[in-house]
Amino acid sequence: GAVVSQHPSWVICKSGTSVKIECRSLDFQATTMFWYRQFPKQSLMLMATSNEGSKATYEQGVEKDKFLINHASLTLSTLTVTSAHPEDSSFYICSAEGGTSGVKQFFGPGTRLTVL
């Protein structure tokens, strides 16, 4: 299957700082990328959908000014958590779809964010 990478795999930061997470589709061009969040013992929740070159679409209840998404190319999307607080600590996972992946979404390995 297609490969999606995320960087970093884990990050610890102080409250009030910003953190950027990268998501890359390594062997296909992703017309659409998705960002999910997963709290402990819960299922994945879709945060936002981004298409290359256009603004992201956020799910209800997700603050677009806090979670900045940039999808500048067909292989890269970034999620920036601005002014992070302890309640933002979570497992952030991206997925990508398009091109040779067809209608299947392929997921990255996830990024564990801990805000102190």
Partner 1 sequence: DAKTTQPPSMDCAEGRAANLPCNHSTISGNEYVYWYRQIHSQGPQYIIHGLKNNETNEMASLIITEDRKSSTLILPHATLRDTAVYYCIVRASGGGADGLTFGKGTHLIIQP
Task: Answer positive or negative: Cα dihedral of 110, 46, 67, 57.
Answer: positive
- Please choose, from the candidates 37, 28, 45, 30, the residue with its C-alpha nearest in 3D space to the C-alpha of residue 77: 30
Q: Which is nearer to partner 1, 1 or 86 (CB)?
A: 1
For partner 1, the closer of residues 83 and 100 by Cβ is 100
CB atoms within 10 A of CB 26: 12
Burial class (CB in 10 A: 0-12, 13-18, 19+), 53: exposed
CB of 44 to partner 1, least distance (A): 4
Q: What are the residues binding partner 1 (CB under 8 A)?
A: 1, 4, 6, 32, 34, 36, 43-46, 49, 51, 57, 59, 91, 93, 95, 97, 102-110, 112
- Closest contact distance (angstroms) between CB of 1 and partner 1 is 6
Half-sphere exposure of 68 (CA within 13 A, CB side): 11
Cβ proximity to partner 1, 26 vs 46, nearer residue = 46
Least Å distance, CB 10 to partner 1, is: 10
13 versus 62: smaller Cβ distance to partner 1: 62
